[in-house]
Chains A and B, each alone.
Chain A
Amino acid sequence: AQSVTQPDIHITVSEGASLELRCNYSYGATPYLFWYVQSPGQGLQLLLKYFSGDTLVQGIKGFEAEFKRSQSSFNLRKPSVHWSDAAEYFCAVGARGTASKLTFGTGTRLQVTL
């Protein structure tokens, strides 16, 4: 069964500092990988996705993520965090080539200090 682990429940960074949110997955083959962001009281917005090709993917709002097969990881990064990035971030995995369910991690809450 597929699963996702986000080991950091809560991270605080200063505005302007760099950010890395960790995500590890368990899946029998190469999965589809996604990062979603949820602002308070809002739905889930897709930040970026990986399904093939270049293992470094670019997303919206200046975010990027790198797929590392050897480490079963898909960490999210941003070089300089803005106060508006404060939100909850979810990593998710889906089966390749299908429209099947997404399995989410437990999320990482990002707090940004000024």
Chain B
Amino acid sequence: EPEVTQTPSHQVTQMGQEVILRCVPISNHLYFYWYRQILGQKVEFLVSFYNNEISEKSEIFDDQFSVERPDGSNFTLKIRSTKLEDSAMYFCASSARTTSYEQYFGPGTRLTVT
């Protein structure tokens, strides 16, 4: 069964460093998303992406964040200068153009900023 994959599974970085989180969505999906989950809190939407541009973003997704689909398979989230409060689990999701647009999630990348 096709699935969303994410790399790395765990990333440790120092405050102020740039990180890139990578995702490979399900191959025939057209819509891509990033969410984050701070430890012990709920899953929060960051950004959605369609047709090579951002469709929607939350107030969390400020200028420090960017997304890109550099080729036909990868979808990346870049954090330019990490802060302690960026420590969280980051989930990538994708959906197809179906009736319900259900989103399929990857296993997540745990980002720890020290």
Contact = CB atoms under 8 A, between A and B. Distances in A.
Interface stretch (A19-27, A79-87, A99-107): A99-107
Contacts of A102: 35, 43, 45, 103
B16 to A, nearest CB: 28
Interface stretch (B68-76, B79-87, B104-112): B104-112
Contacts of B48: 99-101
Label chain A's interface by main secondary structure: strand
Interface of A: 32, 34, 36, 42-46, 49, 51-52, 90, 92, 94, 98-107
Interface of B: 4, 30-31, 33, 35, 41-45, 48, 50, 55-56, 58, 91, 93, 95, 97, 99-108
The 6 closest A-B pairs by CB, nearest first: A101-B45, A43-B107, A44-B105, A99-B31, A51-B100, A104-B43
